[in-house]
């Protein structure tokens, strides 16, 4: 597993995690409430500028996190071209890019432990009625940490296939990718069990 927090120090690293997550929620609501192409173009341009401010290293790391969206963006654009609504397709694509860029910015400038503390605070009412929130806290941590790891392993499988065949891998790497994911899940389950499981 890897940490998503950027080693490049920025001012946002010192902001409270709760404030950043609340701002992210508010920004996402605004993004989905607006339908103007100009608005979404300006927001995405602003996101790119924010990524560029801390330096080239931070900018490249941020843009790398957005590269995984291009197949989905292309699919959305093609579909909207087919149905005769290219402007709506651009709005959806820019909205998706901006929302993920803002979320990625939060994870790059916030320690995972700080985000888990926010989740733990929000789940306080559930603990008062006897609900074990440990599973929720660990589940969020695993999703945040393992998503880029699994994406990287998928890319490595595709590269391995390309090195041995001129054909595109397609669905043929699904099975080995599934085996790798299950293998990682088994190791994590054993590690959790050795440390007491999901007890509060």
pLDDT above 70 as % of the chain: 96
- pLDDT greater than 80 at residue 199: no
DSSP state of 52: H
**Of 24-38, 53-67, 115-129, 152-166, which one has max mean pLDDT?**
24-38
Question: Residue 23 has what pLDDT?
Answer: 93
DSSP state of 129: T
Q: What is the pLDDT of the chain when averaged over all its residues?
A: 84
Residues 66 and 59 sit within 8 Å (Cβ to Cβ)? no
What's the pTM value of the predicted model, to 2 decimals? 0.71
pLDDT above 90 as % of the chain: 28
Question: Residue 2 has what pLDDT?
Answer: 40
Question: Residue 1 has what pLDDT?
Answer: 35
């Amino acid at each position: 597993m890897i940490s998503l927090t950027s080693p490049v120090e920025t001012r946002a690293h010192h902001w409270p995690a709760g404030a950043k997550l609340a701002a992210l929620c508010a920004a996402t609501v605004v993004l989905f409430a607006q339908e103007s192409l100009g608005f979404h173009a300006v927001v995405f341009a602003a996101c790119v500028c924010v990524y560029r401010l801390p330096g080239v290293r931070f900018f490249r790391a941020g843009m790398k996190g957005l590269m995984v969206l291009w197949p989905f963006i292309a699919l959305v654009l093609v579909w909207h071209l087919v149905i005769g609504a290219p402007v709506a397709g651009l709005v959806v694509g820019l909205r998706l890019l901006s929302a993920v860029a803002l979320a990625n910015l939060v994870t790059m400038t916030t320690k995972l432990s700080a985000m888990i503390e926010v989740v733990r605070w929000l789940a306080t009412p559930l603990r008062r009625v006897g609900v074990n929130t440990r599973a929720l806290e660990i589940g969020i941590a695993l999703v945040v940490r393992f998503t880029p790891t699994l994406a990287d392993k998928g890319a490595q499988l595709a590269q391995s296939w390309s090195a041995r065949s001129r054909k595109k891998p397609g669905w043929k790497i699904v099975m080995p990718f599934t085996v790798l994911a299950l293998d990682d899940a088994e190791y994590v389950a054993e590690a959790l069990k050795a440390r007491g499981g999901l007890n509060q």
